[in-house]
Amino acid sequence: MKEKVIEMIEKRGVSIVDLAQLAYELQVDYIPITLEDAIENIHKVLEKREVQNAILTGISIDILAERDQFEEPLLSILKRDDSLYGIDEILALSITNIYGSIGLTNFGFLDKIKPGIIGKVNDSKGVQVNTFLDDLLSGIVAAACSRMAHSYGDSKIEEQEIQMN
Amino acid sequence: MKEKVIEMIEKRGVSIVDLAQLAYELQVDYIPITLEDAIENIHKVLEKREVQNAILTGISIDILAERDQFEEPLLSILKRDDSLYGIDEILALSITNIYGSIGLTNFGFLDKIKPGIIGKVNDSKGVQVNTFLDDLLSGIVAAACSRMAHSYGDSKIEEQEIQMN
Amino acid sequence: MKEKVIEMIEKRGVSIVDLAQLAYELQVDYIPITLEDAIENIHKVLEKREVQNAILTGISIDILAERDQFEEPLLSILKRDDSLYGIDEILALSITNIYGSIGLTNFGFLDKIKPGIIGKVNDSKGVQVNTFLDDLLSGIVAAACSRMAHSYGDSKIEEQEIQMN
Amino acid sequence: MKEKVIEMIEKRGVSIVDLAQLAYELQVDYIPITLEDAIENIHKVLEKREVQNAILTGISIDILAERDQFEEPLLSILKRDDSLYGIDEILALSITNIYGSIGLTNFGFLDKIKPGIIGKVNDSKGVQVNTFLDDLLSGIVAAACSRMAHSYGDSKIEEQEIQMN
């Protein structure tokens, strides 16, 4: 299923490296990581079933909205990415939450600033419906950041325990 | 939009009174309420935009799954109401949360026991796709219970303050 | 830190086996598990940092409320386990969410029915403050159920993929 | 209880106007509001019981940590505002969620950028424990922004409906 998810993301114009780049930039000032670490962590996030379900559902809604498959008033809400809709943020949050609540801050920051690929996706609204996609991407990147922070925290604690023995 | 939401729920075989009945039964042992109070509280819940968005989105997904509009593997996941899917619970939780976290317990209880109309909707899976509908109904009823509990709590506090003066 | 967490739970009168028993009973009708599997899964849940933080914080609040360390009106709210309080459910939910939203239903069910050790802990309110403890226990058991459901789901999918090759 | 909550916030060095200022700045580019509107909306947020409970609990934890009332390892985690702790974000999120998920983005942005009073509170860590306070403030401001966005959205919809009749 992970392959299907990556394929779906790429078809919408987003690569794993685009996402890894953002996660790398957000964390590099705090913990010693490389872009390769970030790529690996994006992959780990995409292996989680809850994450896959959120992505498959969200991107499918975007696509079906493009094809006018929803009824009104939902169709217009989706097409204009109504700022009071909120279901896109909810789905994205279910991704971020997989690695605990520390990802909330990065999610909100990414969703507000829309750096890199997230901004690109947001700008291409009008051509394609990306109501869910941009939030999902923020969720994936924030989750990868949390995962890296946890891994680094754990390795530091282990180190301390080894030194104490 | 509230009318559209009620119409959509009714088309799926569920009435406001069905939902009010469940809310009434869950709360009548704790606070002095009538079925009319429960009906009014279900209506108040359905006036909230976040609730409306969750219902419109969830029921639309059920309907589009019935019409085979989703691609695999999501289509099969939706049609068999895969217990590991989780997005239906997430949407329902966004309804329950509107009146705070005290609704979580009632939501989980309703979703597990499936009393009254929720059980009926669950049993009619196979005929129609109700993957989101049953969770949404649990969310609406749990939210109405929270609303009634808060209202009663507030009125009791006011009473105490009046007596103290 | 895991040892500290288990020690804290046990000091409040709860054993790992008590919790595993509940997780076992909730899942045994759906997937082939033993009590040993349930014990192992409770341990895995308790290894997660987010879970540890929620438990340490919640039980500490219970203990400090017993010692009258909070100011009014919070002290009275905590001591009588006010049904409109809600922060205990929020902390417990952060445990359940670690394995995705499918744990919500079991959490709500446990928190409503209060079977086994959860009921015992609830009944001993009055002697000790267990405002957070009973919700935390429901959260831990629900998380272990989700973990077992995910593991079983993954192993079944692997099996299918092997058979298809 | 609202007075008690405001008193507690002010004792920690934060005024209602400080918070309203941030909410005003975040929304003024999108909807026609004044600083007075923002002040009124901060007050409305603080009237909600769930919000009051989160604030009372969070600030009390900060104060009790200052007085060394928690045991280790939690005491050190609280005192150094460990970035992997996460319970502070969870409590703050329960405030933001009261007006739906659209507040998530503003919450994360505020928590990352720490503008105005939030930055001040963050900088005074060391002198006092503000582990929960800074997140709570971000949650309150984000909730007020959501409330203003919803109010404006509702008034615009009403206007459209009047024009259509």
The three-state secondary structure class of D47 is coil
CB A33 within 8 A of CB A148: yes
Q: Name the nearest CA neighbour of C144 among C9, C1, C47, C7.
A: C47
Give me the mean pLDDT over the C81-96 stretch: 91
Q: List chain A residues with pLDDT less than 50.
A: 164-165
Q: Which two tokens stand for residue A87?
A: 């279901």
Residue B13: closest CA among B89, B119, B121, B102: B121
pLDDT higher than threshold 60 for residue C32: yes
Q: What single string gives the DSSP state of each residue in C48-86?
A: SHHHHHHHHHHHHHHHHHHTT-SPTTHHHHHHTT-TT--
Query: Residue B162 above 80 pLDDT?
Result: no
CB nearest A50 (choices: C50, C94, C100): C100
Alpha-carbon distance A111 to A130, whole Å?
13
> Tokens 């996706």 identify what position?
A121
CB D40 within 8 A of CB D111: no
Cis before A73? omega within 30: yes
CA nearest C87: which of C77, C96, C97, C101?
C77
Find chain A residues with C-beta within 8 A of B87's C-beta: 53-54, 57, 91, 94
| Nearest Cβ partner for A50 among B49, B70, B86 | B86
Give the model confidence (pLDDT) of C7-20 as tens digits. Answer: 999 999 999 999 99
Is the CB of residue D144 less than 8 Å from the CB of residue D38?
Answer: yes
- Model confidence, pTM: 0.90
- Three-state SS for A91? helix
pLDDT tens, residue by residue, D112-165: 999 999 999 999 887 899 999 999 999 999 999 999 998 887 776 656 555 544
Considering its fold, how many domains does chain C have in total?
1
- A85 to chain B: nearest residue by CA? B53
Range of the domain at A70: 2-164
Range with lowest mean pLDDT among C46-50, C154-158, D55-59, D118-122: C154-158
Per-residue tokens: D101: 């998920």
* pLDDT exceeds 50 at position D57: yes
Residue C83 identity: S
Residue type, B21: Q
Measured CA to CA, the distance from residue B5 to residue A148 in angstroms comes to 42
Q: Assess if residue B46 is contained within a domain.
A: yes
Helix then strand count (H, E) for chain D reads: 9, 0
Return the number of other C-beta atoms located less than 10 Å from residue B79's C-beta: 17
What is the overall mean pLDDT for chain B?
A: 91
ipTM exceeds 0.95, yes or no: no
Which chain A residues have a beta carbon less than 8 Å from that of D131? Answer: none
pLDDT tops 80 at residue B161: no
Write the residue in D49, D94, D100 that is nearest to B50 by C-beta.
D100
Residue B162 falls inside a structural domain: no
Q: What is the pLDDT of residue B163?
A: 54
- pLDDT tens digits, B112-141: 999 999 999 999 887 899 999 999 999 999
Binning chain D into helix, strand and coil, the percentages to the nearest 5 are 75, 0, 25
Q: How many CB pairs under 8 A join C and D?
A: 57
Q: Which contiguous run of DSSP H or E holds residue D118?
A: helix D116-123
Residue B43: C-alpha distances to residues B37, B49, C130, D65 (Å)? 10, 12, 35, 44
Instruction: Give the dihedral of Cα atoms D138, D141, D144, D145; nearest 10 deg.
Output: -90
We report the CATH number of the domain holding residue C62 as 1.10.3760.10
- B161 CA to chain C: closest CA distance, Å? 14
Q: Could you give phi then psi for residue A135, rounded to 5 degrees?
A: -70, -40
Asked if residue C165 is part of any domain, the answer here is: no
Q: What percent of chain B has pLDDT over 90?
A: 78
On the 0-12 / 13-18 / 19+ scale of CB atoms within 10 A, A79 is: middle
Helical segments of chain B, H only: 2-11, 16-27, 35-46, 49-66, 74-79, 87-96, 103-113, 116-123, 133-164
Chain B positions with Cβ closer than 8 Å to C? 30, 83-87, 89-90, 93, 100-102, 104-113, 149-150, 153
Among all chains, which residue has been given the structure tokens 């929620």? C54
Where does residue C134 rank: exposed (0-12), middle (13-18), buried (19+ CB within 10 A)? buried
* pLDDT given at position D165: 45
Contact B86 C100 (CB under 8 A): yes
Burial class of residue A122 in the structure, from the number of CB atoms within 10 Å of its CB (0-12 exposed, 13-18 middle, 19+ buried):
middle
- B61, B128 Cβ separation under 8 angstroms: no
What is the reported pLDDT for A158?
59
Give Cβ neighbours of residue D163 (< 8 Å, ≥ 6 apart).
none
| Residues on chain B touching C106 (C-beta within 8 angstroms) | 108, 112
CB atoms within 10 A of CB C127: 9
What share of chain C has pLDDT > 70, as a percent?
A: 94
